C-alpha cells in the first residue's frame, strides 16, 4: 500500500465520520431540521429521517469499501439538491447579512463535500475504491 493510498483512505474515513455525525444529528434533532425542508416538497419530517439514513448508509459504504461508486453519487446528488433547494434560496432571500453569510457557508460546504464525493465515486469501479491504479 503506497503513501497516496493511505492518505486517500484517511480522507475517505474522515468524510465517513462527518456523514455519520450528520446522519445521527438528523435522527436526534429532526424537529430542528424540518424547517429546512422546502414547502413545495411534501413529507416534512420524513425527509429528515430519510436523509439521516442516507448519510449513515453512505458512511458505512465508504468505511466498508462496498458500493462506493453508488454511495459517492448518492451523496453528491443529495448535496446538490440541498444547494439548489435550500442554501441558494436562503442566500438569495436572506434579509439579514448574517443569515446570508450562513447560507453561503452552507452552500460552499455542501459544494466541497459533493465535489469530494464525486471524486471518490469516479475513483471507484466495480463498486469498490481502487486508488492503487490511479495517477
Residue-wise pLDDT tens for the chain (135 aa)?
A: 566 678 888 999 999 999 999 999 999 999 999 988 888 888 889 999 999 999 999 999 999 998 999 999 999 999 999 999 999 999 999 889 999 999 999 999 999 999 999 999 998 875 565 555 554
Can you tell me the distance from the alpha carbon of 26 to that of 49, in angstroms, rounded to the nearest whole number?
Answer: 6
* Domain limits for position 33: 3-133
Query: What's the pTM value of the predicted model, to 2 decimals?
Result: 0.85
Q: How many domains does the chain have?
A: 1
Can you tell me the distance from the alpha carbon of 122 to that of 22, in angstroms, rounded to the nearest whole number?
Answer: 23
Which pLDDT value is given to residue 121? Answer: 92
Can you tell me the distance from the alpha carbon of 102 to that of 51, in angstroms, rounded to the nearest whole number?
Answer: 21
What's the residue count for the chain?
135
Can you tell me the distance from the alpha carbon of 71 to that of 81, in angstroms, rounded to the nearest whole number?
Answer: 15
Can you tell me the distance from the alpha carbon of 98 to that of 1, in angstroms, rounded to the nearest whole number?
Answer: 46
Strands of the chain, DSSP E: 124-125, 128-129
Can you tell me the distance from the alpha carbon of 121 to that of 118, in angstroms, rounded to the nearest whole number?
Answer: 5
Which pLDDT value is given to residue 95? Answer: 87
Amino acid at each position: 500500500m503506497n503513501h497516496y493510498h493511505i492518505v486517500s483512505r484517511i480522507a475517505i474515513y474522515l468524510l465517513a465520520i462527518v456523514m455519520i455525525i450528520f446522519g445521527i444529528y438528523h435522527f436526534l434533532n429532526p424537529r430542528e431540521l424540518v424547517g429546512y425542508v422546502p414547502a413545495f416538497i411534501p413529507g416534512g419530517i420524513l425527509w429528515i429521517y430519510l436523509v439521516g439514513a442516507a448519510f449513515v448508509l453512505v458512511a458505512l459504504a465508504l468505511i466498508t469499501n462496498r458500493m462506493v461508486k453508488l454511495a459517492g453519487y448518492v451523496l453528491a446528488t443529495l448535496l446538490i439538491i440541498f444547494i439548489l433547494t435550500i442554501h441558494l434560496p436562503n442566500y438569495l432571500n436572506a434579509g439579514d447579512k448574517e443569515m446570508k453569510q450562513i447560507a453561503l457557508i452552507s452552500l460552499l460546504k455542501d459544494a466541497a463535500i459533493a465535489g469530494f464525493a464525486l471524486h471518490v465515486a469516479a475513483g471507484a469501479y466495480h463498486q469498490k475504491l481502487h486508488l492503487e491504479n490511479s495517477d
